[in-house]
Amino acid sequence: QKEVEQDPGPLSVPEGAIVSLNCTYSNSAFQYFMWYRQYSRKGPELLMYTYSSGNKEDGRFTAQVDKSSKYISLFIRDSQPSDSATYLCAMMGGSNSGYALNFGKGTSLLVTP
């Protein structure tokens, strides 16, 4: 079992829909949880990061972490065609377990006008 599992999709939604992207993980040492967005033929860019459990909101994006269930989510409200990209979740431990990022395989999202 990989440490980070993510459904690759593709996920297709109409413009304006609420999008829910999810990842599960197995390593309880993970403390930092990130979401990166990658447009086709570009490098990943950091959208948001969360430390430990809880919610974090940034504009139309909300990240949720449930450490008890080892489950993280990214919600996109009022989705736009410009949100069409691959979304990668990433996780890492803290000083005692190393700072290497562990990525999911990414979920491909298509927002249609």
Task: State the minimum distance, in angstroms, from the CB of residue 8 to other proteins.
Answer: 8
Task: State the minimum distance, in angstroms, from the CB of residue 52 to other proteins.
Answer: 12
Q: State the Cα–Cα distance between residues 84 and 102, nearest whole angstrom.
A: 23
Residue of the chain from 8, 10, 16, 54 that contacts other proteins (CB under 8 A): 8
Q: 8 and 108 in contact (C-beta within 8 Å)?
A: yes
105 part of the interface to other proteins, by CB under 8 A: yes
**Site of interaction with other proteins (CB under 8 A):** 8, 32, 34, 41-46, 49, 86, 88, 92, 95, 98-101, 103, 105-106
